[in-house]
Amino acid sequence: MANVVVIGSQWGDEGKGKIVDWLSERANVVVRFQGGNNAGHTLVISGVTYKLHLLPSGVVRPDKLSIIGNGVVIDPWALLDEMETVRGQGVEVSPSNLRIAENAVLILPLHKELDLAREKALGKGKIGTTGRGIGPAYEDKVARRAIRVGDLADPEVLSRRIEGLLLHHNALRRGLGEPEIDALDLKAKLDDVAPNILPFAGVVWQELDAARRNGKRILFEGAQGTMLDVDHGTYPFVTSSNTVAAQAAVGSGQGPGVVDYVLGIAKAYTTRVGGGPFPTELEDDIGRLLGERGIEFGTTTGRPRRCGWFDGVLVRQAVKVNGINGIALTKLDVLDGMEELKVCTGYRIDGEALDHLPASTVRQAKVEPVFEVMEGWSESTRGARTWADLPATAVKYIRRIEEIIDAPIALLSTSPEREDVILVQDPFAD
């Protein structure tokens, strides 16, 4: 049975939540494998809007197993709040349908405080983080001083972990002029939350291996987007984890052979949140129109997203870096009624042609997009479910995008509603 990885092909916010939810009908297990509650997926199902941050999108479907893998950093308080929110919307969340990797790292209040203090100190040069403590939690993980989910089960181990963690953080806080963290107070908070988290903890790599051997279909759900990857993104304006498809295996405890199909998600235009380069950004009425029509506000932060024309160079780069087999193109309907559209087909730096986004921040700042102008369409594409429902010029736009990015469009999403999808190539096909 085919296993599918879904990843963002731009700077996140591409509409992964809806696509993962749509695909999860064909899957048995849905896995989050990186990031934390800095991510946000919005699902609209029968008029009900679900906003998920840590919970895998499959949780809204009955009879699906949702897994939070070891590559995720988990704010336990935020996770419990999210569980209660979706339960209030009629969604069951219990250890029978949600499992959390025992070796996943916890985000603590001190991580969020450090995140905000650093952003404040950077001033105009700030990264634009969500302030959720993601980066500091990953730093502690790499430095081998983090507290993990399984540590909550052993009071003695937890006390030792806290002692080692605060040896670093309290020295750092003194340097920043912040009050030190009291070890007993932190332990009391963790002891309080532990009984609500531990029932969900388990050896998820083993559970996933068993599911795969039993012929279950696994859907790996990425957060953020390729251009926010800590290695392959617009560094330093990136997240603190690997967001690319290869991380699906590492972040869930599986071998690379587990992946059969990589589905990239891309908007029919481009957006990003926070600072950093954005070659096709539109700081004019068209950019504002895209933002208004697309309701471009961050699911997690509520910040307005920067908007611009479709950047074929970036998405083509994402196709190569991830080994993408097909693209799910979303929000085509936002372009309805526009007389003229532009697509970025290349870059120039000081007159030199370039077919990729360079890693150098200096060169990134000099990038000038090369646009191809295309005819728009006046008809509505919203809610279209077959190619016959699309205007000829919309089909032409889609076909040209396929040529530029060197990948086929596998799915086309024409509204936020779950069923408004045109399926061209089924990622789960054997």
- How far does the chain reach from its first CA to its final CA, in angstroms? 6
Q: Which of 21, 41, 111, 232 is catalytic?
A: 41
Q: Which residue has the tokens 């929000």?
A: 331
Q: Which residue has the tokens 């700077």?
A: 11
Helix (H, G, I), strand (E, B) or coil at 352: strand
Q: Which of 13, 115, 333, 420 is catalytic?
A: 13
277: preceding bond cis by omega (within 30 degrees): no
- 27 touches 260 (CB < 8 A): no
For this structure, is 41 an active site residue?
Answer: yes
Q: Return the DSSP state at 96.
A: T
- 72 touches 34 (CB < 8 A): yes
Q: Which of 422, 416, 419 is nearest to 49 (CA)?
A: 416
Q: Which residue has the tokens 């936002």?
A: 334
List, in order, residues 6 or more apart from 52 with CB less than 8 Å away.
17, 40, 41, 42, 43, 59, 60, 82, 86
Which regions of 78-167 does DSSP assign to beta strands (E)?
98-101, 105-106
For this structure, is 13 an active site residue?
Answer: yes
Residue 286: C-alpha distances to residues 10, 15, 416 (Å)? 20, 21, 21
List, in order, residues 6 or more apart from 83 with CB less than 8 Å away.
55, 93
Q: Which of 153, 138, 149, 157 is nearest to 102 (CA)?
A: 149
If you count them, how many residues does the chain have?
Answer: 430
At 337, list the tokens: 């009624």
At 380, list the tokens: 């509505």
Residues marked as catalytic: 13, 41
